[in-house]
Amino acid sequence: MRVLLTGGAGFIGTHVHDQLLAEGHEVTVLDSFRPDVHAARPARSPGLVVGDIRRADAVTRALDGVDTVIHLAAKVGLGVHLDDIDDYVSSNSLGTAVLLKSLGNIRNLVYASSMVVYGEGRYDCDDHGQVAPGPRRTEDLEQGRFEPPCPHCGAPLRPGLVTEDAALDPRNAYAASKLNGEHLAAAWARETGGRVTALRFHNVYGPGMPRNTPYAGVAAIFRSALERGEIPRVFEDGRQRRDFVHVRDVAAAVTLSAAALPRQPPFTAYNVGSGTVTTIGEVAAELARAYGGPRPVVTGEYRLGDVRHITAASDRLKNELGWKPAYDLQTGLEDLLHSAG
């Protein structure tokens, strides 16, 4: 394949780039090197276009000679405040629209989506079956009542694994912009005869994780605290369920999806998760042990816009494309500990 990799200088992008090259593909990278992510802009080099995904001239230049696009470029982070809602919409929604408009005769696109498009994960009530709880109330969070109740009877719920067929319910600016990108890409595929695979990444960690920026995931935040000799601070009660997937497993999923595009329907969505349920508190404790640092403290603090539980069922990706994660959490964190990134 001759691939354009947008956001190819970022955390996930650098691993996808390495995987593509290892598989023998030709790769052009488009990256803006935005200062809130990258400390410096690189020197010019073959195969690198420095430019903003929102600029049609930069996108068109990067697309020259390409037959497949892997679109990772995005403003990521929490998205739980409205202060930068315009930046999320501009960077993610508009950036994706400019890319799609510029594709010309290119018909193969892998789009980096996120677990956040689901909102809360799957929940079941003993009396009402599978239910969709609404956003958690501030007064409940203030009182330490973190678990969402059944919206019909108020009873406790059992969290489970979310599948790609679940209802989509984005609950913050970042989530809304990522789902909008899925919708735009699906519309492009219908109108052009193209093919889109949307990969809904769960909590990605591994070598090269961002440090001390809004882009840092929770594992990176805990690691940075430990490296400074500080106590990792865990929000809520630490029992929030997540699926942590190693970045090299994510890179393998991306390249597999790109190679499979000619055989795919117009739009396909895959969860990309390890399949193992882990709590935020367990990750903090495991990192503290690995680094020989202080034990985490559970603060009871919360952020509006955070969801309680979201864990993936990645069976569709495994069954249809033969993907299999190579890292469990223990081996993945050991890899992180011994990496320079």
Catalytic residues: 174
- Contact residues for 50 (Cβ-Cβ < 8 A; gap 6+): 31, 32, 33, 41, 42, 44
Q: Residue 187: what residue type?
A: A
Helix (H) or strand (E) holding 25: none
Question: Are 253 and 324 spatial neighbours (Cβ–Cβ below 8 Å)?
Answer: no
Distance CA 243, CA 259 (A): 25
Q: Which residues pair with 2 in a beta bridge?
A: 26
How far is the C-alpha of 191 from the C-alpha of 148, rounded, in Å? 40
Q: How far is CA 162 from CA 45, 156, 166, 176, 254, in A?
A: 42, 18, 6, 18, 20
Q: What is the DSSP string of 220-237?
A: HHHHHHHHTTPPPEE-TT
Strand partners, 111: 71, 198
SS3 102: helix
Instruction: Please state the φ and ψ torsions of residue 52, each to the nearest 5 degrees.
Output: -90, 135
Quick count: other Cβ atoms within 10 Å of Cβ 68? 21
